[in-house]
Amino acid sequence: MIPAILGIPVVEGVVGGVVGSVANIFAPSNSCSATATVSPVTRNAFAPYLTSATAANAPAAPVATPPTGSMRADEWGQMAPADVQTWAKSLVGKHVAATDATGRTISGDVNGIQMLGNTLALNVGGHLVSLAQLKQITWSPSVA
């Protein structure tokens, strides 16, 4: 029993040395040993690729339109034009109820979108409805 207790530090030292050597093999190093035949990888090897990968090159995140919802004119008026267009495209195939400034409601399925000059319009059931004329849009999944 006593010889086994005395052997524990020796085993720990051997195991620790092996583990330490293995860890050192995978540790990054900027120096080459005399026996190394492969040049070390520099830290800046990917720098040209990382600098060209800017936020401008990244694809735009899609606008997540829930299955049902509503939006007021003042809300889409605060959005960037590209975001409004993406949101409007997401309404294609959904049923909408659009309320204009007089309180009249236009409802139907959105068949597409179209630019009318500088204004975006929805094709609701075959009728072009300009977003500039609307106060609110409510959408839900199409029933047809």
pLDDT per residue rounded down to tens, the chain (144 residues): 555 555 555 545 544 555 555 555 555 555 444 444 545 555 556 555 555 555 555 555 545 567 889 999 999 999 999 999 999 999 999 999 999 989 999 999 999 999 988 889 999 988 899 999 999 999 998 776
Q: Could you tell me which of 142, 131, 64 has the C-alpha nearest to residue 98?
A: 131
What is the domain partition of the chain in residue ranges?
2-52, 69-141
pLDDT of residue 76: 92
What confidence score (pLDDT) does residue 36 get? 47
- Reduced DSSP (H G I as helix, E B as strand, rest coil) percent helix, strand, coil of the chain, to 5: 35, 30, 40
Q: What's the count of helices (H) and strands (E) in the chain, helices before strands?
A: 4, 6
pLDDT value, residue 33: 47
Q: Please give the model's pTM, rounded to 2 decimal places.
A: 0.54
What is 69-141's CATH topology?
SH3 type barrels. (2.30.30)
Give me the pLDDT at residue 142, please.
79
What is residue 54's predicted lDDT score, i.e. its pLDDT? 54
**Residue 58 confidence (pLDDT):** 53
Q: What is the 8-class DSSP label of residue 64?
A: -
Q: 91: which residues sit within 8 A by CB, 6+ positions away?
A: 65, 110, 113, 122, 137, 139
| Angstrom distance (rounded) from CA 137 to CA 74 | 11
